[in-house]
Every structure is written in structure tokens, then in C-alpha cells.
Amino acid sequence: MNNYLSTKDYLVFIVYFLIVAVYGYWIYQRKKKKSTDTKDFFLAEGSLTWWAIGASLIASNISAEQFIGMSGNGFSMGLAISTYEWMAAATLLVVAIFFIPVYLKNKIYTMPQFLNQRYNSTVAMIMAVFWLLLYVVVNLTSILFLGALAISSISGINFTLCMIFLAVFAIIITLGGMKVIGYTDVVQVFFLILGGLVTTYLALNLVADHFGAKGVVAGFNLLTENANDHFHMIFKKDNPFYLSLPGLSVLIGGMWIVNLNYWGCNQYITQRALGADLKTARNGLLFAAFLKLLMPVIVVLPGIAAFVLYENGYFQQEMLVNSELQPDKAYPVLLNLLPSGLKGLAFAALTAAVVASLAGKANSISTIFTLDIYKKKINPNAGEKKLVNIGRAAVLISMILAVIIAPFMGIDKKGGFEYIQEYTGFVSPGIFAMFILGFFWKKTTSNAALFATIGGFLLSIVFKILPSMTNLEWLSPYGFSKLAVQKDGTSLYEIPFIDRMFFVFMISVVGMYFISIYENRKGIKPNGLDIDRSMFKTAPAFTAGALLVTGILIALYTLFW
């Protein structure tokens, strides 16, 4: 096992880098005449095809926290962590059918713009500032840190240099605008999937070889035999990981809040579809849903394979950090077993995932700052060229800030996937409540939206500290609390994270309902959106594809229940 790249690996990586760079430059030259058009720079209006939208969605979503964090979760808890990917496929269908038509019909290009149009400028500005802080302090930092950590561990290159390289690579792509990001993401996804499948292929073959069998099918069958407890999607209450994935809540509870907020109310995700027509946007989301079904094969199975190999004597030292087992080491350890050349391909795949996510988030930071803060509050008379230049400056500044603060955020102590979920989970229930009622209930008022935003955040804090204030054992028979040992050795009945989000969402909705009804009776008339039932009608081809995705999901959950 080695933690360095050979000459062949560097050649493969250079080929990948040149393909992305040359293709991105070609796309940029083709659109150069529009380079000062804000809609083209921020949204690539009308120029992204369905396959570019779908690929870009996945490239922006899949990053180091999946490759490293989810693979580590696969090592420790098994296939169940795939619920984040497979439920995302179902969520993308809901967003395509019900959310995207509302955005496009009302000509909404940014999330703060929606809040301003539906509620008022106060709500919009509060959320614009919040999203900027979240994207820079949580998203950019965690992706940069985890990506650099993973790349450094398999290449031997200095950690700080890796972080700077990733930031510079992402900046180069982002400065070309949304069209360059969208089409280079197609290349990124190709390398991401190809390199990921190569790693999975190697891992399954290693398992097969250890037990005297041959082939990936035999390797997979041996995984299910030797780690049967790692192939259950729905955890029972006695499972040690129940607090992370609490039983049926991953199907009918809080997991929907996690995914609907992420895929439907998230600037750097929805932005990919907002510049297209409805048919193209929907087909792009459907394509992304199919790709999502594949992701656990790439990011979870290698972790389970590493677990089986570890249990059979492999990686006994490599998986330890300070004499403690570190599941997040599973994926880098497997990559270090790849032969020369293939390791370079996997290295390119990991880099592609990180850079694509960084570029997507940096573009969204740029869009929100430029269109929702700078143009509205700082320089309302700014021209198109000025706005594009401000957008580019925002990309540079946000990336520099992320590089500087990432090492001090404690990401290595929490784990990247947990880090992102924990911090976004404090606000996503209230935000989603504000969006969903704003979409489909015209009576929702601005004060109700403020209650969901601020009150939802405060409620999340209350539910987080509640176990230390009172005994929640009475919730245990219903599955809403579980005895957990704390770091100081004490035991508390904690509410699972996903259930906590669901409770906050429901309270936020109820609170919004009563506030809105009260204000409606006082004569306040909210700004409803333009919605009619015909918007939600789907084309036959999309319907067939959506039914196929749904059927596959039902089969997967039935098989691995």
C-alpha cells in the first residue's frame, strides 16, 4: 500500500485536468459575446440541455462528504446510509413535478427573490445573508477541507497545497459563469462515476479473492453473507445507529424534510434548472434521479467492502487514528490499493467531485450576493457588466475566506457529512415550512414566514438541549427517543436528529397557519404566487421515467428492508 501517486497516475490526472480546462475554455469562447449578461453568467439561460442540468445537479451534490463520509458510514452502519441518496431520487421527482413549475411560472431566479416576491424584502434580506454565511462557513469550508484531506492522504501532497489547488481549480471554472459550470460538470460526472466504479470493482474483487472466489458478483454475494447486518435499510430501535437513522422516519418522516429542503429550496441546486424551460428542467431532474440510484454503488459499497476486509485482517493499522478505529479512512485506504494508472483515475474522480461542488456553491454565493444584496441595497443602478464583475469578485473573496477559515472549523473532529447535516438541520425545517406554505397556500403572511425562519431555528436549539433539561424516556416506546451515552459518560434519552427536524417542521407549519389566519382577519392580504393546476401536468415520457424510478426504489427497499 502506498500514499503517493506514480508517473502514470499523474499522467491520467493531467489528461483529466486538460479535458476539463480545454472544454471549459471552448464553452466560454462560444458564449463570450454574452459574458456581460447577468442571466447568462448566473443562470446560463436557455443554454443548458437536460443531460447537462442532470449531470450538473449530481456534480454539485456529490463531493468529498459523500466519497469519504458516506463510505465511512457504509463501513460502520452499512447500506442504510444510502437512504440519503435513494430518497433524494424520489425527492427530485417531487421537485420536478411541483416546485420547478412554480419557480419558472413566476420567473424566479434566486431563493431570496422568491421570498421578496412572495413575502417582503425583510424576509428576503435576512435569508440572503443567512444563505451566504451558510454556504461560505459550512459548505465551502467542509468541502475544501475534506477534499484536501482525502487528496493529501492518497497522494502525499501537502494538505494546504491541496486545498489551494482545489480552490484555484474551482475559481477558474466558476469565473466562466453558469454555462461553463454546467457543461464542464458533464465531464466531471463522467470521471466521478468512472473512477468511482473502478474503486468499487477493485473492492469487490478484493473480497472475492480473499474468500477464494472470482468476480464482482461473487464479491457482492460474499459481502451480503459476511456482513448481513450491513444490508438493512430500516433500523430497529435496538440498532446502535438508530439515532442517526430512526426506523421508518427515513421513509415517512424527517428524511423528506432534509431532502425537499435541499433539492427544492436550495440556491446552488435549483439554480441549474431555473434558466431552462419546464420540459428541459424536468427531464434534467429526472436524469439526476436515475444517477442518484447509482450513487450508493460508488460511495457506500466500497465502505462495506472495507469493513469485511478489515474484519478479516486487512488495514489493521491504516484504519486507526490515535489507536482508535476511524471509519472515514475506509475510502482513502481502498484508493491506496489501486494499481498505477487506475489510482490516477480514482484521484481524478475525487477531484472532479470536489471541484464541481465548489464551483456550484461559489456560483450560488456570487448570484445571491450580486442580485439580492449588491443590486438591491448597495448599487441599484449597476449595469450588466458591473454586476458580472461583482459576481466574479464575490467568487474570489468567498473562496479565499473558505481557505483561510476551513482549518479552524473543527471539521475533522465532527466528520464532514455530520458537520453539514448538523448545522443545516438547525434551520432547514423552518425554511422548508416557509417555502412550502408560500408555494401552495396564498394566505401565508410575511410575519408567519419570519416565525418559521427565526422560530424554527430557536425550536431546533430547544429540541437539541431538551434531553439535558428533562427525561425523554416516555418517548422511547414510540421510537422518538433512544438512550445514548454522552462523551462525559452520562446517559440521556436523545431525540433522533431526523425526528427533531420533523417535529420542528410541524410546529412551524402550525404556527404559520395560526399567525396567517389571525393576520388575514385583520385585513392583511399576502402576495400569492401565480399557480394553476395545468402547471403540474407532466409529459408522457417524464411520467414513464418517474414511474420507473419509483418502481426501482420500491424494489430496493423491499429487497434490503
Rounded mean pLDDT, 14-41: 67
* Cell of residue 458, nine digits: 430557536
318-341: b (≥16 Cβ within 10 Å) or e: bbeeeeeeebbbbbbbbbbbbeee
Give the pLDDT of residue 180.
63
Neighbours of 377 (CB within 10 A): 11
**Looking at per-residue confidence, does 419 or 142 come out higher?**
142
416-437: b (≥16 Cβ within 10 Å) or e: bbbbbbebbbbbbbbbbbbbbb
At 145-185, the pLDDT tens digits run 878 877 887 777 888 898 898 888 888 777 766 566 666 66
Helix/strand/coil for 492: strand
Give the pLDDT of residue 502.
92
Mean confidence (pLDDT) of the chain: 83
Rounded mean pLDDT, 221-238: 91
Whether the per-residue pLDDT at 21 is higher than 90: the answer is: no
Whether the per-residue pLDDT at 454 is higher than 80: the answer is: yes
Q: What radius of gyration do the chain's Cα atoms show?
A: 23
- Give the highest mean pLDDT range of 10-19, 166-175, 498-507, 532-541: 498-507
List of residues 6+ apart from 184 with CB closer than 8 A? 20, 23, 24, 27, 173, 356, 359
**Looking at per-residue confidence, does 29 or 111 come out higher?**
111
* Architecture in CATH for domain 7-23+41-413: Up-down Bundle (1.20)
Rounded mean pLDDT, 234-239: 88
Give the pLDDT of residue 134.
82
Which contacts (CB < 8 Å, 24+ apart) does range 430-433 have? 430/454, 430/455, 430/456, 430/457, 430/459, 430/460, 430/504, 430/505, 430/508, 431/127, 431/261, 431/265, 431/456, 432/257, 432/260, 432/261, 432/264, 432/265, 432/505, 433/505, 433/508, 433/509, 433/512
The secondary element (H helix, E strand) that includes residue 524 is none
Helix/strand/coil for 487: coil
pLDDT band at 35 (very low <50, low <70, confident <90, very high): very low
Helices (H) and strands (E) in the chain, counts: 28, 4
Neighbours of 271 (CB within 10 A): 26
Q: How many Å apart are CA 37 and CA 42, to the nearest integer?
A: 9
The domain spans of the chain are 7-23+41-413, 426-530
User: If 0-12 CB within 10 Å is exposed, 13-18 middle and 19+ buried, where does residue 475 land?
Assistant: middle
The secondary element (H helix, E strand) that includes residue 251 is helix 249-252
Torsion region of 232: left, alpha or beta (phi above 0 gives left; psi -120 to 50 gives alpha):
beta
Phi/psi for 141 (5° steps) reads: -65, -45
Give the pLDDT of residue 339.
80
* Cell of residue 220, nine digits: 457482492
* Cell of residue 127, nine digits: 435569508
Whether the per-residue pLDDT at 40 is higher than 60: the answer is: no
pLDDT band at 1 (very low <50, low <70, confident <90, very high): low
At 375-386, the pLDDT tens digits run 888 888 877 778
* Cell of residue 66, nine digits: 459523500
pLDDT band at 413 (very low <50, low <70, confident <90, very high): low
Give the pLDDT of residue 517.
94
The amino acid present at 125, given as its one-letter code, is M
At 194-206, the pLDDT tens digits run 878 888 988 899 8
The percentage of the chain sitting over the pLDDT mark of 70, rounded to a whole number, equals: 89
Give the pLDDT of residue 239.
86
CB 71 within 8 A of CB 299: yes
Q: How many Å apart are CA 434 and CA 512, to the nearest integer?
A: 8
Of 458, 475, 461, the C-alpha closest to 511 is 458
At 76-109, the pLDDT tens digits run 899 999 999 999 999 999 999 998 888 888 887 7
Q: How many Å apart are CA 328 and CA 325, to the nearest integer?
A: 9
At 465-516, the pLDDT tens digits run 888 778 887 888 777 778 776 666 677 888 888 888 999 999 999 999 999 9
Residue found under cell 449595469: 383
SS3 content of the chain, % helix, strand, coil (to 5): 75, 0, 20
Give the pLDDT of residue 510.
96
Three-state secondary structure of 40-104: HHHHCCCCCCHHHHHHHHHHHHCCHHHHHHHHHHHHHCCHHHHHHHHHHHHHHHHHHHHHHHHHH
DSSP structure class, residue 324: E
At 264-318, the pLDDT tens digits run 887 767 766 776 788 998 999 999 999 999 999 998 999 999 999 988 888 877 7
Whether the per-residue pLDDT at 346 is higher than 90: the answer is: no
User: If 0-12 CB within 10 Å is exposed, 13-18 middle and 19+ buried, where does residue 236 land?
Assistant: exposed
Of 183, 158, 144, 149, the C-alpha closest to 23 is 183
Weakest mean pLDDT among 132-136, 336-340, 551-555: 336-340
Q: Where are the alpha helices (DSSP H) in 82-177?
A: 83-94, 100-105, 111-118, 121-133, 141-155, 159-174
- Intra-chain end-to-end CA distance of the chain, in Å: 36
pTM for this predicted structure: 0.84
